[in-house]
Amino acid sequence: MPILDVRNLTKRFVRRGGLFRASTVVHAVNDVTFAIEEGEMFGLVGESGSGKSTTGRCILRLVEPSGGTVLFRGEDVVPSAAARIRALRRDMQIIFQDPYSSLNPRMRVGEIIEEPFVIHAVGSRGDRRARVLDLLRLVGLDAAHAARYPHEFSGGQRQRIGIARAIALNPAFVIADEAVSALDVSIQAQVVQLLVELKERLNLTFLFIAHDLRLVEDICGRVAVMYRGRIVEMGATASLFASPLHPYTRTLLSAVPSLDPDAKRNRLELDPNSFDVHAPLREVQPGHWART
Amino acid sequence: MPLLDVQHLTVTFPGPRGPIRAVDDLSFQLAASETLGLVGESGSGKSIAALTVLRLLPPAARVESGGILFEDRDVLAIPEGEMRRIRGARMSLIFQEPMTALNPVMRVGDQIVEALTVHGETANIAQARAVELLDAVRIADAASRMRDYPHQLSGGMRQRVMIAIALACRPSLIIADEPTTALDVTIQAEVLALLRDLKARFNLALLLITHDFGVIAEMADRVAVMRGGQLVEEGPVRQILREPVHDYTRRLLAAVPGRRHSASLRHPFHADPGRS
């Protein structure tokens, strides 16, 4: 059984009309279906507005889905009551892009990491303090950092603090939503390395949401490509990057800059008439799905 | 004679324990119609160096020493009134976030027209030129787009409008500070292709500031790598990307994600994807 099984997930936003404009319905997430096996690093890529972040938020019920099911270890979280969702959030966590805005500037780092234990009433005060120090070391910071405030840290260190908080309660499943996008490339490589290490050490499963295809290519075993709310292609990263089946995936991959100044630029333009947006996602090759 | 010649430039900011050197003894040259990529991480001083060339440093900053020659003139000695004419007319700036550069309550056409009339063009000619410029940056249906406000345009289109404004007075040098960093990868590809095109068409020199070696590989003739205000390494793009000499350059290149280029690189970043 997959640890996460998302079926026909849909999120509609109603854009309110004005005096001269009718209300319109925007399908931010449209009939999204995928499953993640335990221990996977599953990539979800797309450009801005593709619905990748909304998909992540619907899975954690940070945004209410309009339809579909999200099975976490077989339990549908979509109809679950708020109290059950809170309990489930011990097992399902998220790391956001912007460590600046997701850390309370008035709290010391030790308190920030300890907060999940307090919220979920885990351990005695002494236990919690010890665990905070363990977590700091686990993410490559040191014990002395617990007494400091977020503004005293660099972007990469702040992201490490965010990671420590996300893994504090030993979750099984973590969503990294553009978690390294705002970092300088050398810092980004270090934080990505940390995520890969933590995945192995703590037996985590990741949904890695990113717009940078190069990152996904490096660390994700499987990947799904979203375009305008739909998954247009999904498969093993190696096979999807080597032989993309959907026109949008081909366009996206052709736009990624190469580090070779002599590389032939074979930039493809997307012809929206070259594919049918309503085509079903079907398994074209074993494990490789596309809407064609 | 280079178009732009920066010699031993040092720029400081006041700090709690004495001045901080944001740019430290930096020298580089840029020939006419050449593209120099200035690469570095946040805080490396690459943007401050560019702002110094444009004489747009914040008031707290101080040029301690060094000189800048642009079109054979000593930039640091030009009176402010004349510098205003040079900016826009001879050298102009494109930066990351077009929304902060464009006036939100002014039609984009009027903003281009303004750039032209400020530099002495008559209103009628400016109007016609503005349409040409929007057309040159490949905005479809340019004449009717003139009447749009910035918020009615997509991010990529706003970036094109900013490029049109930068081009308006036919400068010889464009300084582009992370021009595509905020854009989606397909839009980035379009904007880079456009910049390459315009560069050839208008004979522009481009000082391209970026942290992305992918953008460098696509655009630059030469590359200068900065760290902590200093120039670490400089050379032709192929040499820097394939045989970097300095350890810092190697580490920066190794940190660039993506596997398809690892064949051409000696130090690819190794995360172990095998079991994921």
One digit per residue, the tens of pLDDT, for chain B of length 276 reads: 899 999 999 999 999 999 999 999 999 999 999 999 999 999 999 999 999 999 999 999 999 999 999 999 999 999 999 999 999 899 999 988 877 889 999 999 999 999 999 988 999 999 999 999 999 999 999 999 999 999 999 888 999 999 999 999 999 999 999 999 888 999 999 999 999 999 999 999 999 999 999 999 999 999 999 999 999 999 999 999 999 999 999 999 999 998 654 444 434 344 333 333
Sort out which chain B residues have CB atoms less than 8 A from A251's CB and list them.
186
| Dist CA A189 CA A184 (whole Å) | 9
What number is the ipTM of this complex? 0.85
Reference A95, options A172, A39, A175; nearest CA is A175
Do A260 and B272 count as a contact with CB atoms less than 8 A apart? no
Nearest alpha-carbon partner for B38 in B234, B199, B203: B234
Output the CA–CA distances (angstroms, integers) from residue A249 to A125, A275, A286, B133, in the order listed: 50, 12, 18, 32
CB contact under 8 A, B271 and A214: no
Q: Which residue of A has its CA nearest to B250?
A: A186
SS3 of chain B: CCCEEEEEEEEEECCCCCCEEEEEEEEEEECCCCEEEEECCCCCCHHHHHHHHHCCCCCCCEEEEEEEEECCEEHHHCCHHHHHHHHHHCEEEEECCHHHHCCCCCCHHHHHHHHHHHCCCCHHHHHHHHHHHHHHCCCCCHHHHCCCCHHHCCHHHHHHHHHHHHHCCCCCEEEEECCCCCCCHHHHHHHHHHHHHHHHHHCCEEEEEECCHHHHHHHCCEEEEEECCEEEEEEEHHHHHHCCCCHHHHHHHHCCCCCCCHHHCCCCCCCCCCCC
Beta strands in A118-257 (DSSP E): 173-177, 205-210, 222-227, 230-236
Contact call for B41 and A188, based on CB within 8 A: no
Instruction: Select from A53, A66, A58, A117 the least CA-distant residue to A90.
Output: A117
- What is the token pair recorded at B42? 């946040």
Taking the CB of residue B72, how many other CB atoms lie within 10 A of it?
A: 9
Label residue A23 exposed, middle or buried (CB < 10 Å: 0-12, 13-18, 19+): exposed
Q: Report angle CA A153, A155, A160 to the nearest 5 degrees.
A: 80
Name the minimum distance, in Å, from the CA of B45 to any CA of chain A. Answer: 14
CA angle, residues B153, B157, B160, in degrees to nearest 5: 140
Q: HSE of B199 in the Cβ direction (CA atoms, 13 Å)?
A: 22
Task: Say if the Cβ atoms of B241 and A217 lie within 8 Å.
Answer: no
Low-confidence ranges of chain A (pLDDT < 50): none
Round to the nearest angstrom and report the end-to-end CA distance of chain A. 28
Name which of B46, B181, B186 to mutate to probe chain A: the one with the most chain A Cβ atoms within 10 A of its Cβ.
Answer: B186
Q: Alpha-carbon distance B203 to A194, whole Å?
A: 46
Q: How far apart are CA A151 and CA A141, in angstroms?
A: 15
Chain A to chain B Cβ contacts (< 8 Å): 129
Rounded CA gap, A30 and A68, in Å?
10
Cβ-defined contact of A262 to B238 (cutoff 8 Å): yes
**A186 vs B contacts (CB less than 8 Å):** 41, 251-252, 255
Q: Answer yes or no: are the C-beta atoms of A213 and B185 closer than 8 Å.
A: yes
Task: Give the span between the Cα atoms of A91 and A65, in whole angstroms.
Answer: 19
Q: Does A192 touch chain B if contact means CB atoms closer than 8 Å?
A: yes
Min CA distance, B8 vs chain A (Å)?
A: 27
User: How do residues A165-192 score in pLDDT, each as one tens digit?
Assistant: 999 999 999 999 999 988 989 999 999 9
CB-CB neighbors (< 8 A) of B273 in chain A = 41, 196, 218-221, 237
pLDDT at B274: 35
Closest CA to A26 of A35, A37, A15: A15
Q: What is the dihedral of CA B250, A196, A42, A71, to 10 degrees?
A: -160
Distance from CA of A211 to the nearest CA of B (A): 8
Interchain CB distance below 8 Å, A186 and B41: yes
Helix (H, G, I), strand (E, B) or coil at A72: strand
- Minimum Cα–Cα distance from B251: chain A residue: A186
Cβ(B48)–Cβ(B62) under 8 Å?
no
Q: Can you give the three-state secondary structure of A192-229, one letter per residue? A: HHHHHHHHHHHCCEEEEEECCHHHHHHHCCEEEEEECC
Of B41, B215, B269, the CB nearest to A218: B269
Contact across the interface for A41 and B265, Cβ inside 8 Å: no
Amino acid at A60: L
CA–CA gap between residue B22 and residue B157 (Å, rounded): 33
d(CA B53, CA A202): 51
B interface with A, Cβ–Cβ < 8 A, is 41-42, 155, 184-189, 192-193, 211-215, 217-218, 220, 237-238, 241, 251-261, 264-265, 269, 271-273, 275-276
Q: Residue B236's pLDDT is what?
A: 97
Closest CA relative to residue A261, chosen from B37, B41, B174, B180: B37
- Min Cα distance A212 → chain B (Å) is 8
Q: How many CB atoms lie within 10 A of CB A118?
A: 12
Chain A residue numbers with beta carbons less than 8 Å from the beta carbon of B214 are 214, 256-259
Q: Which of B192, B220, B255 sits opposite A186 (nearest CB)?
A: B255
Kindly state whether A189 is in contact with chain B, defined as any CB-CB distance less than 8 angstroms. yes
User: Does B212 contact A257 at a Cβ distance shorter than 8 Å?
Assistant: yes
CA B8/CA B27 separation, integer angstroms: 5
Q: Tokens in use for B255?
A: 């940190």
- A239 interfaces chain B, CB cutoff of 8 Å: no
What are the distances in angstroms from CA A194 to CA A56, A160, B58, B142, B248? 21, 9, 38, 48, 21
Residues from chain B contacting residue A256 (CB–CB below 8 Å): 185, 214, 258
Element (DSSP H or E) covering residue A162: helix A155-167
Q: Are A241 and A42 in contact (CB under 8 A)?
A: no
Whether residues B184 and A185 touch (CB distance < 8 A) is answered with no
pTM of the model: 0.89
Closest CA to A95 of A14, A189, A266, A209: A209
A28 vs A13: CA distance, rounded Å: 7
> Distance, in angstroms, between A79 CA and closest chain B CA?
30
- Residues 143..162 of A with a Cβ closer than 8 Å to B: which? 155
